[in-house]
Structure 1
């Protein structure tokens, strides 16, 4: 239900946003869309740990990484083609959301869990499942904040990519669209390549942390580069 209802909420939110003029209203509806997106993600991510043996999780994470890269960079490349007609582009993305959710549901064949033992909803269960752990949770918080800052850093760059090319570098909309297409194509190729290599390599080496650390520092260095070289190629 989280995937289905989340998809419907995202699609409706995008259609509403496409027809709004108020910045405040757009931000408010976008918060709803983001909440729905995270509801979908929360239902999908556990499928990796629930269905995949530990020795194959690095490889399966590779496919997740490839899919994430294709979605992020491939759709950025696609979105750049709609800079001249943003409203239609938003409609198109809403349609893609619905279609991809249907494909996921057909492929995953997730069984219902209504026959599973019910957890009593009380103060103790609320504390256990909805509050942050307070004992023996060092690794959890390291992973949480590490992932948080990594995602925030990369998302800031990709979210403001159009404005970086126009306001910071000085390109017009048409030039920025071309630059974003090139940027996304490069990121798509490199991202898919390293996603394909990273998972099996981590399984073979028996180490997952090292590739993540190296990739995170590389991400930070790349994000700083345009600060010193104010050119589109940077």
Structure 2
């Protein structure tokens, strides 16, 4: 088998001179987009709804998130497929990394100035559409340019994106809570711009203008998004990732309202305490990632670690139900943070090993990104429905069920240990 460049697979293994800058720039690019999803999705969006409506309007928050999941579902594989076909002297991914950030900043500017829930939802959907294109491009860099013997290490570096972004957001809002009223949108824009410039120019890819390109046929283009899900291991890796991320994010993205309405923390204290909980939880995630990532490379047992993570996540979700206090949430955030960190450490390595087509890694990683970005973006809308229908107990019970189902999916992957 040959890769997209007409080289034997071993040729990718020998491209070590391109690997060194990626150890820094690729994780930073991922931290930046996680900072967007978390800083805006978990902090700014609920606060923006509060400022517009004057209340903790669960239905309004759900409306603001109602279109975004569809945008994420469309954008990841479509942009991945288009970047696979892109030919430029900067490589296949760079034009989309830079272009998506440029347009994404404009969409964020519109969101920062949204004066109604409807406009907030429309602008947030636009941000999700274009920035999932950015995410598709940066995740395709891993199978493009990283040798398989380094998958575990780079998976861990990718896995640091969520805890580092959350720690950064938590510190920002704890130390400068006034930024939650809109100023943080501009911080997010700056972080995205710097990260995009670094990954493109500090770790440049090779010229792709001479690469062969498959003829474009619309039917084949559309069918390509479904085809990888017909591969057994790819399908179960997709299902496992979707469930594990969804079970985590349903609680995580609803923290503000949960702490006020379920844990009964006074409104004047909730932002600072939410920041503390998120900081503690993400430090736990960070430590788990840096320990498990290199270990998984050494023992080559990626599926086992993902299975342990799913089961542990389900168990920790019981804690807030039996101990609905700030102290209970503190214990939950630490233990659940460790469980999620174990998953984040091996996730990219696991999914990269089940890619079915070396010539369409951008599109296939884009399909898999739906299982990562989709739950993060859809979680607030799902959580809003569950809380409205059955309260916060229903939210936690659903999270437990989703985590257990995800563990069963991981168990069904056969081609990866």
**Contact 2:229-2:235 within 8 A present in 1 as well:** no
What does residue 152 of structure 2 align with?
58
Cα 1:223–1:2 change in 2 (3 A) is farther
Q: Show CA shifts across 1:75-114 (max 9, x none).
A: 2432444543421122222222222222222332123322
Q: Please state if 1:183 is matched with 2:277.
A: yes
Q: 2:207 aligns with which of 112, 132, 157?
A: 112
Measure the CA separation in 1 of the matches of 2:289 and 2:142: 16
Measure the CA separation in 1 of the matches of 2:100 and 2:170: 22
**Contact 1:14-1:90 within 8 A present in 2 as well:** yes
What does residue 13 of structure 1 align with?
107
Show structure 1 runs of 5+ residues with no match.
none
Which TM-score applies when normalising by structure 1? Answer: 0.90
Cα 1:198–1:159 change in 2 (3 A) is same
**Number of corresponding residues:** 233
Shift of 1:67: 3.1
Shift of 1:184: 2.2
Shift of 1:147: 0.8
Shift of 1:39: 0.8
Q: Please state if 1:144 is matched with 2:235.
A: no
Show structure 2 runs of 5+ residues with no match.
1-94, 329-417
Measure the CA separation in 2 of the matches of 1:67 and 1:13: 22
**Contact 1:83-1:173 within 8 A present in 2 as well:** no
Q: 1:166 aligns with which of 260, 266, 276?
A: 260
What does residue 212 of structure 1 align with?
306
**Contact 2:166-2:279 within 8 A present in 1 as well:** no
Shift of 1:155: 1.6
Q: Show CA shifts across 1:170-204 (max 9, x none).
A: 22344112212211221232111111111111112
Which TM-score applies when normalising by structure 2? Answer: 0.52
Measure the CA separation in 1 of the matches of 2:311 and 2:269: 30
What does residue 119 of structure 2 align with?
25
